[in-house]
A and B are shown apart, each in its own frame.
Chain A
Amino acid sequence: GAGVSQSPSNKVTEKGKDVELRCDPISGHTALYWYRQSLGQGLEFLIYFQGNSAPDKSGLPSDRFSAERTGGSVSTLTIQRTQQEDSAVYLCASSRTGSINTEAFFGQGTRLTVV
């Protein structure tokens, strides 16, 4: 596709339920990032995928969060037993390569509200 696509754009869920957020990166991009943006806060790194390498999960805030990337393309971020503090905008980005001087392109984000 022309850009990074995320779905759903909005998700309201009840506390304690599980949610899945999807990211479809730019075609051919090997690197994929998940970030979280809370109101008034900066972007918080969650996880990084590069090609077939093991993901960097160092930013995941708890073991309720997990992510996978199938076939080096689409990624799914799963939050189990959601809590109110999980409410935020979840942003996915992709880069042409994993090189550290390569810019990342972001999707529109998924706004998650836990009630």
Chain B
Amino acid sequence: EDQVTQSPEALRLQEGESSSLNCSYTVSGLRGLFWYRQDPGKGPEFLFTLYSAGEEKEKERLKATLTKKESFLHITAPKPEDSATYLCAVRPTGNQFYFGTGTSLTVIP
């Protein structure tokens, strides 16, 4: 069965304290791994797509990496405005994205 597991469920960081979020997956035939950010009361906002092991993408303080079994979202020197829930999703063969339950990130000033 295709599964996506994110860890930790919640993470509290001091402003400037770098860390990583993990997304591990078991899917048959990965075609893309997607990272989203979701703020309370809003829909998920697209961040990155990764297609193959070894690929990296960056945006401001965020960097996403991909291996054959997992993806990491590295947050460098986070700011309070980075506080949100970060979701990863995979798209194996078929018509749907499979989402993890997310990591709730809180950055304390």
Interface of A toward B, CB cutoff 8 Å: 4, 6, 33, 35, 40-43, 45, 48, 50, 56, 58-59, 91, 93, 98, 100-109, 111
Contacts and interface: CB of A to CB of B under 8 A. Distances in A.
B69 to A, nearest CB: 19
A108 B95 CA distance: 21
B43 A108 contact: yes
Interface size class of B (residues with CB under 8 A): 20 to 34
A19 B38 CA distance: 26
Interface of B: 4, 31-32, 34, 36, 41-46, 49, 51, 87, 89, 91-102
19 contacts: A4-B43, A33-B97, A35-B99, A40-B101, A42-B100, A42-B102, A45-B96, A45-B97, A45-B98, A48-B95, A100-B31, A100-B32, A101-B32, A103-B46, A103-B49, A108-B42, A108-B43, A109-B43, A111-B41
Contacts of A101: 31-32, 49, 51, 91
